[in-house]
Every structure is written in structure tokens, then in C-alpha cells.
């Protein structure tokens, strides 16, 4: 019996989460386990009720569970709120509260969907990249930060900052991940310009001494952004800081054809991990039963793999998705000629039915 805190959030978050639960419940039946899903509020919907996007009860429940599943947060109607209570703040807050410093974002191109990518099939076919994004440091959390009047001018500033321990722990996760993949790791930084990147590189190189089997390379982030589109198959495991990882993972999602396909796992040293799709709340698509639930379903599968060490169950869900795609079912974001268009719920049903 696993206790899962579910924070579905705003916009289409609840819709995709319902499908993930459906698939996880079916998987639980087949593998003879049980999930207790406990719903809590996060994001704009939490702000409406509690006056804060990340209420204490939600944090407490998250800390007190075996894993957390998150949908998405944010809506235009909250865009005018002060920064401290904006829905996005809840995401950063829960990452920090749970110490989720390692964000794993796999970008895999499913053979069935090669044609959904805006890139040429020969470029994307066979892509299998794991982006490891540091998640609790960098310019996202650095102090000092703010907007102040300096020399008579409004001036905005944030601080890009990492200490050696923060780099070392994410580097270790990256090397460990590379070891169980094909032992190739590319560290992405901006060491030609930024001091913080020079330290990043120094520590990554130092850490590499513990992993002599891993072939380590370094790439500047601007070049990495270009190479991801030009020749993505050169990458296997990528490790990078918070802001570069944010940007590169959205870019990488287009290799697979849709933001609606990419899951993520956010891990801490020990303790509770969190699983969420990398896409946002898509408020314009809310309530229309058209969004793709696959990213959230895969996030649930990652939970089975990383939190509960159920590799076989992970594979079962992945295979189920693959079969449904093979049979030609598509949500709107990945629809192409001759395929069968289905809604969010139907896609969830089809995937759940394949799990046996
Ligand atoms: C992501 C998102 C978040 C981030 C935003 C919504 C705060 O873009 O998870 O990639 O920047 O980390
Ligand atoms: Mg992002």
C-alpha cells in the first residue's frame, strides 16, 4: 500500500491527473499493490481557498507520503497577482520544501510518433535523451534578488549561484544515471562567460574521477540548444543547471513532437519524490477533453520505477502507451492523417485497458 499525495493544480492539471490515476489503479490491480491517493490543493486553486498557492497542509501531506504526483499550476487570471502568491511560486516552493534537487526529464522519440515531430524523421528517429536538471538552485533561488531603484533607475536583478556541494550532488546523480545508460554524459554550462559555470565545470570534472567509465563532455548552452535540433542523437545523458535545464527540456520536447508527451521525476537525496509532466496548465484547453494525458501517465510510471523500484510495472505502462499509439490512436497535439483522434479520457481508457 502506497500513500500518494496528489496535487492536480490548475487548468488541465486535474484532467490529465484523472487519467494517470486510472492507469495507476489498473497497474496496482495487476501487480497486486494498492495506492491511496489523497488530494490536496496547489497553485491558483489553493490561493482561492487559502490565500496562498502552497498551503501548509499541502506541504505537510506531501512530506508525509510515499510520493507526490503533481498536475500543473497557473492560469491567466492569476497573472496580475503579486509574485509571492502566484501559482508558479508554489512549484518552486514545493521543490524547495521537499529538497527536490534532481529533476529527470527523459526526451524519448517514440517510433510511432516520428512523424509528429516538426523535425525530419531521420534526425529524430531513435532519440533517447535523459536531461538531468538541477532544480533547487541557480538564478531561480539566488539571493539577492528584486526590483529596486538604483541610481535613480528601476533595476531588476537575480543571482545565478551554486556552491560546490550543490553541483557535486547533481553531478553524482548524473554520473550514476549515465552508468546505467550508455556511459556518456554531457555537462552543459556557460563557462566561457559565467564564473558560476566555471565552478560547475570544475566540480563536474572532479566528480568524474569517481566514474572513470563514463565518457564526459562539456558543451556551452548556446551550442547545446543548436545541437539538440541539428543532431540530437549525439546526446544520451545531459546534466545542467536549473535555468538552462528549464529551457533545454522544453526544446527537447519538440523532438518527440509534443510537450504533452514528456514526464519528469524530481528526486531528493532521501525522502519523498515528486512526479509531474513538464508541460504547464494550458488554461485555454481546460475542460475540452483534448489534452494529451501521456506525459502525466508516464510521470506516474516514473514514480513506480524511481520511488517504488517497480521496473516491470514501469515497462508495462510504457508498453501499453506504445501499443495504443501503434493502433493509431492520437490526441489532438499528435494527430496526423489517417489516425484516430481521441480525447483525454478515451486515451486514458485505452492505455488502462492494455495493462494486464
Ligand atoms: C517547469 C516550469 C517551471 C519552471 C515554471 C512554471 C515555474 O517551466 O517546470 O519547467 O520554470 O521550472
Ligand atoms: Mg519549464
Closest atom of ligand 1 to 74 CA is: 6
Q: Are residues 148 and 239 in the same domain?
A: yes
Cα distance between residue 319 and residue 340, in whole Å: 19
How many angstroms separate the most distant Cα atoms in the chain?
67
Could you tell me if residue 264 is inside a domain?
no
Could you tell me if residue 112 is inside a domain?
no
Could you tell me if residue 117 is inside a domain?
no
Could you tell me if residue 298 is inside a domain?
yes
CATH code where residue 58 lies: 3.40.718.10
Closest atom of ligand 1 to 91 CA is: 7
Instruction: Please tell me the total number of residues recorded for the chain in this structure.
Output: 356
| 238-273 pLDDT, tens digit each | 999 999 999 999 999 889 888 899 999 999 988 899
Q: What is the domain range of residue 338?
A: 1-100+269-356
pTM of the model: 0.94
| 71-101 pLDDT, tens digit each | 999 999 999 999 899 999 999 999 999 999 9
Sign for the pseudo-dihedral over CA of 249, 312, 98, 34 = positive
Based on the residue annotation, tell me whether 222 is a catalytic residue of this protein. Answer: yes
Nearest one of 122, 100, 90, 349 to 231, comparing CA atoms: 122
Q: Are residues 244 and 154 in the same domain?
A: yes
Q: Are residues 21 and 86 in the same domain?
A: yes
| 275-290 pLDDT, tens digit each | 999 999 999 999 999 9
> 278: Cβ below 6 Å to ligand 1?
yes
| 344-354 pLDDT, tens digit each | 999 999 999 99
Cα distance between residue 35 and residue 322, in whole Å: 24
Q: Are residues 70 and 153 in the same domain?
A: no
User: Which-ligand-closest: CA of 136?
Assistant: 1
Tell me which of 21, 22, 26, 190 is the catalytic residue: 190
pLDDT confidence bin for 105, thresholds 50/70/90: very high
Do 333 and 343 contact (CB within 8 A), yes or no?
no
Amino acid at each position: 500500500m502506497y500513500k500518494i499525495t496528489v496535487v492536480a493544480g490548475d487548468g488541465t492539471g486535474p484532467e490529465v491527473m484523472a487519467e494517470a490515476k486510472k492507469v495507476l489503479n489498473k497497474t496496482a490491480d495487476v501487480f497486486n499493490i494498492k495506492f491511496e491517493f489523497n488530494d490536496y490543493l496547489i497553485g491558483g486553486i489553493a490561493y482561492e481557498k487559502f490565500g496562498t498557492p502552497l498551503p501548509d497542509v499541502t506541504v505537510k501531506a506531501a512530506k508525509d507520503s510515499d510520493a507526490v504526483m503533481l498536475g500543473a499550476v497557473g492560469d491567466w487570471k492569476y497573472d496580475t497577482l503579486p509574485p509571492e502568491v502566484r501559482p508558479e511560486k508554489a512549484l518552486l516552493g514545493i521543490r524547495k520544501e521537499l529538497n527536490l534537487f534532481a529533476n529527470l526529464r527523459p526526451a524519448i522519440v517514440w517510433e510511432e510518433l516520428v512523424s509528429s515531430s516538426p523535425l525530419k524523421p531521420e534526425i529524430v528517429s531513435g532519440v533517447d535523451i535523459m536531461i538531468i536538471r538541477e532544480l533547487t538552485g541557480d538564478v531561480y533561488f539566488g539571493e539577492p534578488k528584486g526590483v529596486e531603484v538604483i541610481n535613480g533607475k528601476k533595476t531588476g536583478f537575480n543571482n545565478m549561484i551554486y556552491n560546490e556541494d550543490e553541483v557535486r550532488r547533481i553531478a553524482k546523480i548524473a554520473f550514476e544515471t549515465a552508468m546505467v545508460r550508455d556511459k556518456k554524459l554531457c555537462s552543459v554550462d556557460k563557462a566561457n562567460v559565467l564564473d558560476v559555470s566555471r565552478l560547475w565545470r570544475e566540480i563536474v570534472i572532479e566528480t568524474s574521477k569517481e566514474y572513470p567509465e563514463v565518457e564526459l563532455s562539456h558543451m556551452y548552452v548556446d551550442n547545446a540548444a543548436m545541437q539538440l535540433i541539428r543532431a540530437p542523437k549525439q546526446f544520451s545523458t545531459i546534466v545542467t543547471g536549473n535555468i538552462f535545464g528549464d529551457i533545454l527540456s522544453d526544446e527537447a520536447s519538440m523532438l518527440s513532437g509534443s510537450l504533452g508527451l514528456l514526464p519528469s521525476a524530481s528526486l531528493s537525496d532521501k525522502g519523498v519524490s515528486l512526479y509531474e509532466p513538464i508541460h504547464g496548465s494550458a488554461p485555454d484547453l481546460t475542460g475540452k477533453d483534448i489534452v494529451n494525458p501521456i506525459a502525466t501517465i508516464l510521470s506516474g510510471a516514473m514514480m513506480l520505477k524511481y520511488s517504488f523500484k517497480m521496473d516491470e510495472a514501469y515497462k508495462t505502462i510504457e508498453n501499453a502507451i506504445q501499443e495504443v499509439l501503434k493502433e493509431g490512436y492520437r490526441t489532438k497535439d499528435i494527430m496526423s492523417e489517417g489516425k484516430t483522434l481521441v480525447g483525454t479520457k478515451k486515451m486514458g481508457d485505452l492505455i488502462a485497458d492494455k495493462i494486464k
